[in-house]
Amino acid sequence: MKERIRQRARELGFDACGFAAAQPPPTALRFQEWLERGCQGEMEYLRRTAPRRMDPRRVLPGARTAIVLAAQYLPPGAAGNSGPVARYARYDDYHEVLGRALDQLITWLDAGPAPGEPGGAAPGSGEKRFAGYVDTGPVLERALAQEAGLGFIGKHTNLVLPQAGNWAFLAVILTTLELPPDAPAKNRCGACARCLAACPTRAITAPYQLDARRCLAYWTIEAKGDIPEELRPALGERVFGCDDCLAACPWNRFAAGSRMLKPFLRPELCAPDLAAWLRLDEAGFKTRFQGTPLERLKHRRFLRNACVVAGNLGLRGALPILEALSRQADPLVAGHAGWAVRRIESRGVPRAGLESEAVAC
């Protein structure tokens, strides 16, 4: 049965599939300790759903198995560069793309074993047998992936697939089917600490410990308020996310391009025109980024991030729009735009500059 599931998963575009017992993973306690230190920042939903995250049986009553799937996402030609948009976000929204494949897999699974067979629902019970998530439910995906043998959690706290590096999305199906678990993956970081050295804000405070309150991905994606001024220069050109710790991992030498995501690549997110992005009104923002991960920022936080980047890059051609944004009624946008204007002006370079300045990935 397991090999049939793996084969069907490959047919649907997933690159790896493993099986773990639907029970609290050994790293669940570390997650609880992380929350107690407040390292989640504003992500209070993590604390609120912690009991369910730590025990899959609280998510799906009667769950016996977690089927964990991975899909690689490295965009073409993006192995050696960073860019304004994190690599994972240069496609249509992965929740939708992987979600469609996951739904197909669940539909296929739901046709098998019949009620009364091992793992099947009892006749007339109406029992729900499957619950699927693509970063959308209270599940510790990385911990379950390690238990399912897909890869190991690296010192940067992300999952590393030995055969593919760390450029991979995860999806989980909890099921009442009882399937033998795979052997857990062993950690293979060794003495390497490249990810710790690569973090621009030292958000990886120690091996296997990440403080989201210093993480640039957190500040450009999750945080709702002002980006701390002391962290703004470290943003560099990052409008959405940060890949530095991931890019530093030596296991990426085995990374390959994405199969599932390739048809959904958004090339315009690889070499954006930042000055043009700053000029987008709310309607233009929705049109430009609809169906991509950037859509979740909403317009005001997108402008917040873009203003900081314009200031960091000294885009003098963007000064008129930054000055206009600094007079906005929204204090979040106005404050970050004013900061960018002051940062650019402090460099003392004449205003003559490009009207349109693209930032290449």
Q: Does the annotation mark 226 as catalytic? A: no
Token pair 């009624």 is found at 329
Tell me which residue of 315, 206, 292 sits closest to 241, measured CA to CA.
292
Tell me which residue of 210, 96, 200 sits closest to 153, measured CA to CA.
210
* Residue from 15, 92, 103, 135 carrying the catalytic annotation: 135
Q: Indicate which residues carry an active-site annotation.
A: 135
